[in-house]
Chain A
Amino acid sequence: MLRSQQNRIGKPLYLIYPGEHFASNENCFIGTIVGTCLAVSLFDSARRVGGLINFVVPGTIGTGGILEDEIARIGILNMEYLMADMVKLGCNRHFMKAKIFGAGHVDSIKKEQNLVDSNILFVREYFEVEKIPIEKEDLGGNFRRKIYFSPRDGVVYRQILKNNSEFSEFIQLEKEYVESEFRNRSRVGKIILFD
């Protein structure tokens, strides 16, 4: 993550890269760029705290839905990281609303045919199970998006990116991130028993 103070918007800007997330109660912006990946913002209106995450569900989700799916497990894990940081700032799921962006058909990443559809399916079903309303949805298309999220009021500014050459660094990072998520998608955490 990159924090920059000098920018045209006059507020601190936290730039998150593919695979990263950030939650804050500060008067700032959290920004990212998404192509294939999902950018999800959460805003707790009671606490006035928000968070943004940029991640991918690395593969195709089976017909049984997200709850018993090996691949969806990684998507749930990513959402858990963002949720945990928001809960630490005093948030509660009952007051959260989501905005979802990305899952673009961009040609630099051709991992699996239906990767984009699978990511869209995941994020919709996840928020349905969580009973968190999706306030705004801007998914698909064949372009990348630049997202600026204001965590104090939940406002998102979205720009469609037509000139990819300007963002080649981000494009490369996303490609590397998606590939590494595919390689590590069967990972499991540690089990520690006290006795």
Chain B
Amino acid sequence: MNRYIVVIDDSPTIRVSVEMALKQMGLPIVQAENGQDALDKISKIKGDGDDVAICISDINMPVMNGLEFIAEFRKVDKFAPVVVLTTEAEKDMIQKGKEAGASGWIIKPFQAEDLLNVVKRFVK
């Protein structure tokens, strides 16, 4: 069984940066450009008998935003951590993320090493 890191962001620049930062986790990485795209890819992963190790998700995305994604993801996966990576720094929004089922919130800009350490904390 494979365990995937799912990277969700509408910016290819951010998706590639995150992928490079997390390469040394040694897990397969799937990129998605919005919440709906991520749900589709996660459903395929689970359909193949594989699993999600962690999701790194942006908030502001077209089609389905990060908060909507977390709520939907929690319906199909109660346990896999979701770490938000965003420019959003407002308390209310962070609280909403927590209530929706996020495991952590990283406000950009981020350093590759810090992101890697957060992921290592959640993925053993």
Contacts and interface: CB of A to CB of B under 8 A. Distances in A.
B89 A189 contact: yes
B87 A80 contact: yes
Which of A66, A76, A193, A195 is most buried by chain B, counting CB atoms within 10 A of its CB?
A: A193
A189 B60 contact: no
18 contacts: A80-B14, A80-B108, A83-B60, A84-B59, A87-B61, A87-B62, A92-B63, A93-B11, A93-B62, A130-B13, A188-B109, A188-B111, A190-B106, A191-B106, A191-B118, A192-B104, A193-B104, A194-B102
Contacts of B60: 83-84, 87-88
A193 B118 CA distance: 9
Interface residues of B, number: 33
Given A191-B118, A194-B98, A73 B13 contact: no
B109 A187 contact: yes
Interface in B1-40: 10-14, 16-17, 20
A191 B111 CA distance: 11
Contact of B105 (A79, A84, A90, A194): A194
A82 to B, nearest CB: 10
Given A66-B13, A79-B13, 12 more contacts: A76-B17, A80-B87, A84-B59, A91-B62, A92-B10, A93-B62, A129-B16, A130-B12, A189-B109, A190-B106, A192-B105, A192-B107
